[in-house]
Each structure stands twice: as C-alpha cells, then as structure tokens.
Chain A
Amino acid sequence: MSTLASLTAHELAGRYRRGEATPTAAVTDYLARIDALDPQVRAFLTVTREEALRAAAEADARFRAGTPRGPLDGVPIALKDVLCTRGIRSTCGSKILDRFVPPYDATVVARLFAAGAILLGKLNMDEFAMGSSTEHSAYFTTRNPWDLARVPGGSSGGASAAVAADMAALTLGTDTGGSIRQPAAFSGVLGMKPTYGRVSRYGLIAFASSLDQIGPFAKDALDAALMLQAIAGVDPMDSTSVDVPVPDYAASLREGIDGLRLGVPAEYFIDGMDPEVEQAVRTAIGALEKLGARTEPVSLPHTEYGLAAYYVIAPAEASSNLARYDGVKYGLRVPGARDVIDMYSKTRAAGFGTEVKRRVMLGTYALSAGYYDAYYGQALKVRTLVRRDFQQAFERVDLIVAPTTPGVAFKMGEKEDPIQMYLNDIFTIPVNLAGLPGLSIPGGFTQTGLPIGLQLIGRAFDEALLLRAAYAYQQVTTWHSRKPPLA
C-alpha cells in the first residue's frame, strides 16, 4: 500500500512543497485506506468523498502556483460529528439529529477550511459526547484499531481510531471529561484538550457548556501543534473564548525540558489501577527526568470528589443544552402525536439513547426545585476546591505528569454498569473542572500490545509547554511511531 497515508501532516506538507506528492494523491490514498479498513474499524459516519477530491484539486493548484496557504494546506483531516459542517450531515452520534444538515460551519471548521485542510468525513462518537467507549453511539460502535474486539475509548472514539489507523492525518475531537485524552490513550495517539476558552465553541453541538473544549488528535507533537495553531484564538461568536495571544506552537517545540519542574500527583496512582499502566507511567517519568526534568510529589487532595462533582455539573448543563431537541425546528419528529407535549415526549424518547436519557434525567433532577443547592450548588463549590488544588500545585511545578486512565482499552460490552464506565475518566475529569490544558501521548504498551497513555497537565494557556514536553519525550521514545497490526 502507498505510504502517503502513513505520513504525519508535516511530512506530507514537506512532500507537497518539494513537489514529491500532491494533495489529490494523498486524499486518494486516505480514501482507499478508509475503503479498506473502515468496514472493520467503523470510525466514519459520513465520508465526504466528492467534496474531498474537489478540495484536493484546488489545493493541487495552489501548490502548483507556489501559493499554498500554510502548513495544513492539502492535509486530509476528519471531524468528530459533534461539529457543525455546512451542508454536511452532522448527527452528534444521535438518532435525534440523524438527518440534520447545519446551515453553517463551526468556527474551527471555517478556520481549518481557510487553512486549506481537506475534509474526508465526519466521525463516530458516543451520542452527544456522553460516554467513554463510543458504545453509546446510536449508529454503531467503533473498534480499537489495536484490537478490534475492544473499544477505542470515547466519546471521540472515531476521531482517535481514524488517526491510529491512518485513515486521516489529523482529526478534531472534543473533551468534556476526558473524551479526547482517554481515547487517545486507548488508541495509542496524541490527543490534546486545550485550556477552556482557548478554542471557540461556536458550532460545537453543546454537551456541557462550561467543560466542553475542541482539540486535536495527531500522530505526533508537531502535527498537534500545527492543528492547534489553526484553530486556537478568540472568537467574537463565543463569549467564553479568551482573548489571549496565540503563540507559535511549532516554534518552541524543540526547546527541550531541561530544568522543568514536574509534579507527580499521589492521588493519580490508585489501588485497582492496571499495574502495567502504572509501570509504564513511572518509566516514562524516568525518561523525562533523563531529559532534564526534576520531579517532585504533589497532592491534589480533592481528586476523588472531582468525579462526583462532574457527574452533577455535566449532566445538569447537558439536560439544559439538550432541551432544544424537541422535533419542532430540526431533527427527528415522531409522527402521529396527540399534541405538542406528546410530540416532545415521544420524539425525545425515540431520539435519545439510554445513556443520554440517564444524564438528562440526572441533570434535570439536580437542577430541580429543592435539589439545586444540595447537588448543583455544592458541585460548583467542589469545583472551586479542585481548581485550588491545581493552583497550589502549580506554584511549585510547571507541569503535572500522570496516567491518563486507570486501565487500558476494555472489551466491548465489558462495562455495562454506568459507574464502572464513569470511573474511566477519574484522571481526566479534574482537568476539565479546572479548565486547564492536558494531553495524552503514547507512553507504552501492555504485554498484549494495547496502548498506554501518559498524561501531561499544564497551567492555563500553557499549551506550548505541554507540546514541548511531548515533543521532547517523542525524541527519545518510539511508542508514537508504532502502527496497529491492521491490514
């Protein structure tokens, strides 16, 4: 098989610049790979074949004319189906939006198109981004390219699997409680959640407004830097986006981490976690120390409460954000209702899956009269305590290093109990509550060949440092270059 699809975006861009390859050749390659592999992996909900080839031809012309738009011009990407794409079906993994075609592009989508990136298609996900395995997609389950009987993680399972299986050079996912970092760990790729407010949420179909962030899946740190560069920055359409200058992420990548102070949080090494994960992370910490970093123990004492607080705040905001799905203006409408209230109830019952219903019920309850203070009010206060933990730790260290997840990719159907599923996010959730940036990079493999993720957490708007550390680690390790044993 041709090797264009196995390249990173920056390698591809180099080939384009030197005239050794064209965007059309790369897109053709990726589409062939999707045709060959996706029947097994099932990462894609929609493949935009004609649009991709058309865009590739336009990119070809730009390169021929010597006027490419930038490092992402002609690079084949794919997007989690939670992002609105004008004229292209956007389902959010749900039946209730099965035939929804947005009349507008999300800001990040517009920015990527302006940069010349080429859309291959929309990717599978847990319905409304609620889940940690992509088993809650209303359509089908995506498989982990490393072991097709296992989940790729969630909710951005399609986005992580597509990069892992070389079915896209770069993808965008979203992370509310770990939905980029956890699938990145399970699928053996780099996945990054930026600081809350770093990337515009306009056009992101909302799950939990105060927690959602869009971020890249990439084959390496430089690719992630290029993707983040294209999408980061304040947006007048998103009042929660922050007007902080966007640094040149690629420029500082090679500065190394000599002298960097790394915090190792005691609370992230728990009883019951997979010993191979713990071992891999400790080995990785050793590698970082060899690169010049100094580690010291830190404590994030409210970590265990973070999960509980999240499972009040996120469902509460979700129950509100999902109130609009009612069959009136778009999406599914169940016919034959007696009246409008009947229509609402039947439509939402038919259109939402079990996990979504569970969270909508939980969230509605938490906000309802008499329960607000005990649940939502209390959770917002606990959130303050979680933030303070990080603030205090970051007075002594520059980065925090930890496992991304307590275990590795589990088998499909293995985690039926909701709480067992929620525990997957125990190391990722606090970072969302605090609004900080975090990424997961491949940090090893189990004996049976399953990827293990290493998590790095930084101060607000310090994505450059996270990427720099990831880059340094990837100079002395090869985990990120390994490919799954797919055909």
Chain B
Amino acid sequence: MTGRPRISLEQVEHVARLARLELSGDEKERMRSELDGILSYIDKLRVLDTAEVEPTSHAVPLTNVMRDDTEVPSLPRDDMLANAPDRHRELFRVPRIIEE
C-alpha cells in the first residue's frame, strides 16, 4: 500500500506467541495487514524531534505514594476461589506445565 511493509508474517507469529494468542492462518494475514496500516499511521510520530524532550509516564507529577505496613484482613478463601475455572480443594488447578 504505502511503501514497504512494516511488519512481516514472522513478526506477527512472534508477537502472537509473546501475547499467548492463537491465531488461525487467515487471522494472521489479516492481522498483519491491519497492523501494517496502523503502524504506517503511527510512523508519523518519527518526524518529531524529541531529542530534548522528557517522556511522560504519569499524567500527574506525584511521588512517594506509600502505605503503612499494617495488616488488612484478606478476603475469605471461598470468595477468592469462587471464580476458579478449575480447583483442587483450596488450590487453583491448571493443566500441565511444560517448559517452552
């Protein structure tokens, strides 16, 4: 569309892996094309000279927001487990873990 593609199919697959999203073959291509378009639009940011500009991570310049080391009652266990898709007694249960 406009110049060379900014993102390849391999990159889409890599990012999908990082984001733990399973995408079908069609979805990957569609995603690649949409992201490409969005990235083209975002590229306009590069023209701005920001060498002397500090980044803004927080809209409000607060610092040192902290709390005392005082206990607050935890939530009842049943409340915390109530939404569990799978549980083993009082523990959350997940399918087997493999190292990737």
Contact = CB atoms under 8 A, between A and B. Distances in A.
Chains A and B bind each other: yes
B44 A340 contact: no
Chain B CB count within 10 A is highest, among A242, A305, A308, for A308
Contacts of B89: none
B38 A419 contact: yes
A365 B11 contact: yes
B62 A360 contact: no
Contact of B95 (A100, A338, A352): A338
B83 A100 contact: yes
B94 A365 contact: no
A11 interface: no
A364 B92 contact: no
A439 interface: no
A315 to B, nearest CB: 9
B100 interface: yes
A368 B15 contact: yes
B31 A333 contact: no
Contacts of A332: 85
A380 B41 contact: no
Given A381-B50, A384-B55, A349 B45 contact: no
Given A101-B83, A361-B12, A365-B35, A385 B50 contact: yes
A311 B42 contact: yes
A240 to B, nearest CB: 7
Nearest to B68: A236
A412 to B, nearest CB: 20
B84 A103 contact: no
A40 interface: no
Contact of A196 (B31, B39, B59): B59
A460 B58 CA distance: 14
A361 B20 contact: no
A329 B50 contact: no
B45 A379 contact: yes
Contact of A305 (B21, B37, B45, B82): B45
Nearest to A364: B19
A351 to B, nearest CB: 10
Contacts of A239: 62, 65
A240 B96 contact: no
Given A196-B59, A364-B15, A236 B45 contact: no
B16 A361 contact: yes
Interface residues of A, number: 71
Interface residues of B, number: 52
A348 B97 contact: no
Nearest to B37: A419
B95 A368 contact: no
Nearest to A358: B34
Interface in A341-367: 341-346, 348-349, 352, 357-358, 360-362, 364-365
A85 to B, nearest CB: 14
B54 interface: yes
A378 B45 contact: yes
Contact of B19 (A195, A337, A361): A361
B54 A384 contact: yes
Contact of B60 (A197, A341, A344): A197
Contacts of A319: 19
B67 interface: yes
A148 interface: no
Interface in B6-60: 7, 11-12, 15-16, 18-23, 27, 31, 34-35, 37-39, 41-46, 48, 50, 53-60
Nearest to A336: B95
A309 B45 contact: yes
Nearest to A234: B65
B79 interface: yes
A387 B88 CA distance: 51
Nearest to A238: B65
Interface of A: 99-101, 103-104, 195-197, 210-211, 236, 239-240, 242, 302, 304-305, 307-309, 311-312, 319, 323, 326-333, 337-346, 348-349, 352, 357-358, 360-362, 364-365, 368, 374-375, 377-385, 387, 418-419, 433-435, 460
Given A305-B48, A361-B15, 12 more contacts: A195-B60, A305-B45, A311-B41, A328-B94, A340-B96, A349-B23, A358-B34, A375-B42, A384-B53, A385-B48, A418-B38, A460-B60
